[in-house]
Amino acid sequence: MKYSFLAENLVVPVYDIVRRTSRFKSSRVLQKTQWLPRVEIESLQNGNLRVLLRHAYDTVPYYRRVFRERGLSLSDVRSVDDLAKLPVLTKADIRKNFEDLVSRGFPRSRLIPYESGGTGSPIKFYVTKKKLSWEVAAEYRAYSWAGYRLGDLCFMVWGSPADLSNYKGIVTRFTKALERVVVADAYVMSDEVLKRFASVLRKLNPEIIRGYATPVFMIAKYLLEHDIRGVQPKAVITSAETLLDFKRKMIEEAFGCPVFDYYGSREIGGIAAECEEHSGYHISAENVVVEFTRDNEHAAIGEDGLILVTSLRNFSMPLIRYDIQDVGRSSDDVCNCGRGLPLMSSIEGRVSEFMAVYDKQLNRVVPVCPAGPGVIGMALMHVPMEQYRIVQESLGKVVIRAVKGEGYSQKHTDFLIKYVRKYLGDSITVEVEFVDSLPPLPSGKRSSFVSKINPFEH
């Protein structure tokens, strides 16, 4: 507790001075605003949005053109409800209009180049140190809901090659040492690696474990299968990948503590996270606007919708109504924790994790099995496979790539084909391909389902 106090009140302020950031100040603000009544947070959010829109209109050629082409003035877009008057911003739009999306209000020397993660093609964009300060403050506020305090011994399981490369730098290594964060490279997850992680965990017995959901799940599974005890953190924080229910349950069983899921992205930073009530994901409304859309209209409460995000802190390259290619559900519930931050009820996964079928009665393509691998993944859990990845090549074809486990036979292949057809239709072609290994995607994520079609665009 004493070290945590020093880390939060001495290390961070000194870091801000050295790096010319404002994380300490931003954290103090966000720790207070989370407890404001919902109506005051909405007012704060709308105020931040108006400031961003004024800046975008005055200094960003792309948005000046958008307002002009749509016959809009700033007085026409004054709240979150008015955002629908502006177009959705896609990754293709960013690539096509990159220079026109960069604010003329900053010298280029002050802009920091970044690149998105995810499972698809990355995009490049710019941020400022002030923007990064706000998003790190929101990230660590979310971690605090899990009981984490800066300075707690943390075992961080990470898989992004870009991030892992950065963690090898002298400054970052020094910072992580001060924060007492042990970074574990989860890009390769062999039995040897899992054995080493288990040994390190038993030795450290960290207060917090956080990282990519699937590698954390794989570690938990390894500990249970080998009856390894004595690793008892106060919380596990998962992120980067969809946390399916069966993975959450196994992680909780292995570590004997609650799991807190966190939702963020490189483009936006911290978007939403679970608090101690686990009644949904609190949106960091001071920093971001989250919309849920379906068929180009706002989705109904509790209905799956494409997530559009607007960063309220990125003035160097505003991303307004950015299609982050995720699917989630909105909520109008009020959390018992007392925070006024709005909730989203769930994160269903990446658009690329949704299967799609043609519904003859509706005469259109519809998404099925939210968080793609949920239904089929449950079946594959009971089949002797070491690893698997389900790929929907087209509306009529699904390929299951797998690493055989001990005892696998033709009857298991027949079962899988029958099971997939039960959910996607008898006419679909199901192929099972066996491989020696399944490396993670370039982002380091281990998505067990990848679709090459977007059911939300048909």
Indicate the range of 153-162, 199-208, 396-405 predicted with least confidence.
Answer: 153-162
Q: Please spell the DSSP secondary structure of 139-155, one letter per residue.
A: HHHHHHTTT--TTS-EE
2-349 homologous superfamily: ANL, N-terminal domain (3.40.50.12780)
Q: How high does pLDDT run on average in the chain?
A: 85
pLDDT at 68 over 80: yes
pLDDT at 370 over 50: no
Tell how strand 269-273 and strand 259-265 pair up.
Answer: antiparallel
Residues 152 and 208 sit within 8 Å (Cβ to Cβ): yes
- Show Cβ contacts of residue 77 under 8 Å, excluding neighbours closer than 6 positions: 53, 83, 85, 86
Tens digit of each residue's pLDDT (9 = 90 or more) over 389-399 = 888 888 788 88
Task: Provide the residue ranges of all domains of the chain, joining segments of one domain with +.
Answer: 2-349, 354-451
* Span 105-124, average pLDDT: 80
Where in 285-384 does DSSP place strands (E)? 288-294, 297-298, 304-311, 322-330, 343-350, 355-359, 364-368
The structure's pTM equals: 0.80
Q: In the chain, how many H helices and how many E strands?
A: 15, 20
pLDDT confidence of residue 170: 58
CA distance 334 to 64: 37
Tens digit of each residue's pLDDT (9 = 90 or more) over 427-448 = 778 888 898 888 766 656 666 7
1.20.1070, 3.30.300, 3.40.50, 2.60.40: which CATH number matches 354-451?
3.30.300
Tens digit of each residue's pLDDT (9 = 90 or more) over 278-313 = 999 999 999 999 999 987 788 888 888 889 999 999
- Show Cβ contacts of residue 160 under 8 Å, excluding neighbours closer than 6 positions: 117, 187, 240, 443, 444
Tens digit of each residue's pLDDT (9 = 90 or more) over 340-353 = 999 999 887 766 56
Q: Which residue has the tokens 């496979």?
A: 385
Residues 207 and 153 sit within 8 Å (Cβ to Cβ): yes
Residues 29 and 174 sit within 8 Å (Cβ to Cβ): no
